[in-house]
Structure 1
């Protein structure tokens, strides 16, 4: 194996970010610029991109924008060309653009499923291929960071199409990483898997339900994802979960899949449906650009500004077994809160998880709650 890329500090980098007009992409662009990076931001909304670029420049930063639809490979190539023309190239490419659909798979039109995959999967493929072609030709190489989701591992009903697209993103990212490693390319490939994040995601989604959309708690701030992305732009990581909430569900799905299914079927169904009537369906980002420089959504519950679990996993402050233990503890707490169990039931919740896992995995640590 080669020595890998020589990743620069963020302040010395040129960073490309797709889906930069709202949510995680917007937060990451602003944070990168604040830290001194030159940024190339891309999305479909020209007004929003122009305003963002002017904002960054007014604060002393360097930024260029590209109006691009990542479903179009020529548009993606134009993003790379702009980075080369404006800054001589780029060091990190963040594939963040995404679209969203709520509804039962039996009720979502196949045309909407295909459109979602064009952005969420093919947009990542086009971006990754374009980024790798450039980075392999540079002396220091660089980083490709794909934004997946906790549903890359654990599917969620009512977001089945989105879950399937993120499963596909994980499969592509893992295979592409191995290809680049096998040829000793100086490129790190990271998959970032956020938990539920307070972004305009629900209001941007195309909604095929009869009520308004929501996201299940625990909910994290978009800054938690942006910090993780910029960390991985400087230090190679294979994959990272943002938020112990998402990690706990992943662990339940891995070690107790039937139990995870039951929780998602009963709890997540309810928590993704508000009691208010659905807004007009034509207001969605699947069919039209909808970014308007909003980092956060309208989630009306508590939002976690940091994730100690993610910080520990990035810094390798805990061993692998300890991190699993933390995740399983979080899973037990999550189970208890979702099922409305009292503090006195914590042990039984923990045992319910233990009894559901494969016997060969029974030695996994279960810290005291």
Structure 2
């Protein structure tokens, strides 16, 4: 197995696909704040140009390329531009993605195929391009999956299928690179429901005014934190948000019961009477209005900006130490409580006399 050495963020150049909004935009901003050079890829040139101008104004090194990740030749041209702009890259983040909400039987085949071109083939294209480049100098490939990589959600069946495929591809790529001794870290990020423009950009075939992510909703900056941690630290998987992870866990332990629960709440949990702004709706086949980390639709539940579950994964040794300390304190408290309840020896002797 090759020794994998990942640079500190301040010494890295990071390529991010799907960088014009949501998780990708949050990651680009966080990376720039950490001192990294960032190269952004998306379909929306207007949004990319504005974001790069913003980052450069703040003193960051930033550039972009317009590309559809589902088209290999466009993504290869974008990677070449990144090489020319920064002399290479150290981490490649495959974040581009979209969705369709609708029953599988009513989903047009062209939409189903298009979803796979972006969500799955975009990861395949980006990962293979990155692997060729990083074999020479080492680095990280970070693929953004979902908690739906483990447990499918009704009415997002096609999206769930793409994320299952992303997980399988990522696991296989990791094994193959390790076997050949390539100095490349491969990480799968599995977000729960994240408050991004995802719910506005998704195509809606449900006949409702709008669609939404089921609560609880987490801040996209939490996912950005997980992604950047994986850029600098070798990690296999990172799950963002215990809410979605709990559903996956329940599905593994009690699959039929989980089916029943999701069948009962799946429609109401994913629909809303709030209609997205027309300029932002349905970016499946063409780019739509971008440029924000979060949805412009009012959240259906309080936004969760912290996650102890995430912190425990990022710092497992510290978490184990804290838990061991808490366990020792609890054991000591129980022992002391037991001693206070025990009668004194002299009193026991008096009772016997």
Q: Same fold (TM over 0.5)?
A: yes
Q: What is the aligned partner in structure 2 of residue 214 from structure 1?
A: 212
When the two chains are superposed, the root-mean-square deviation of aligned CA atoms in Å is 1.6
Q: In the aligned structure 1, how far is the partner of 2:13 from the partner of 2:75?
A: 16
Corresponding pairs, count: 317
How far is 1:311 from its partner? 0.7
In the TM superposition, what whole-angstrom CA distance separates every residue of 1:192-248 from its partner, at most 9, and x where no partner exists?
Answer: 000000001111001101101011111100000000000010101001110011211
Classify 1:27/1:93 alpha carbon distance in 2 versus 1 (closer, same or farther; 3 Å).
same
Classify 1:276/1:17 alpha carbon distance in 2 versus 1 (closer, same or farther; 3 Å).
closer
Q: What is the aligned partner in structure 2 of residue 258 from structure 1?
A: 256
Question: Which structure has the larger Rg?
Answer: 2
**What secondary structure, in the 3-state scheme, does the structure 2 residue paired with 1:80 have?**
helix
Q: In the aligned structure 1, how far is the partner of 2:180 from the partner of 2:301?
A: 47
Q: In the aligned structure 2, how far is the partner of 1:266 from the partner of 1:72?
A: 39
Q: Does 1:142 find its partner at 2:146?
A: no
Q: Does 1:310 find its partner at 2:310?
A: yes
Q: Using structure 2 for the length normalisation, give the TM-score.
A: 0.87
Q: What is the aligned partner in structure 2 of residue 364 from structure 1?
A: none
Classify 1:26/1:282 alpha carbon distance in 2 versus 1 (closer, same or farther; 3 Å).
closer
Q: How does 1:184-199 map to 2 (within 5 A)?
A: 184-199=181-196
Q: Is the 8 A contact 1:207 1:278 kept in 2?
A: no
How far is 1:269 from its partner? 2.1
Q: Is the 8 A contact 1:149 1:193 kept in 2?
A: yes
Q: In the aligned structure 1, how far is the partner of 2:177 from the partner of 2:288?
A: 35
| Stretches of 4+ aligned residues off by more than 3 angstroms | 275-283
**What secondary structure, in the 3-state scheme, does the structure 1 residue paired with 2:141 have?**
strand
Q: Is the 8 A contact 2:200 2:280 kept in 1?
A: no
Q: What is the aligned partner in structure 1 of residue 169 from structure 2?
A: 172
Q: In the aligned structure 1, how far is the partner of 2:269 from the partner of 2:87?
A: 47
Q: What is the aligned partner in structure 2 of residue 285 from structure 1?
A: 283
Q: How does 1:200-349 map to 2 (within 5 A)?
A: 200-211=197-208, 212-276=210-274, 283-297=281-295, 298=297, 299-316=299-316, 317-318=318-319
How far is 1:268 from its partner? 2.5
Q: In the aligned structure 2, how far is the partner of 1:239 from the partner of 1:286?
A: 27
**What secondary structure, in the 3-state scheme, does the structure 1 residue paired with 2:273 have?**
strand
Structure 2 unpaired stretches of 5+: 324-353
Q: Is the 8 A contact 1:83 1:89 kept in 2?
A: yes
Q: What is the aligned partner in structure 1 of residue 157 from structure 2?
A: 160
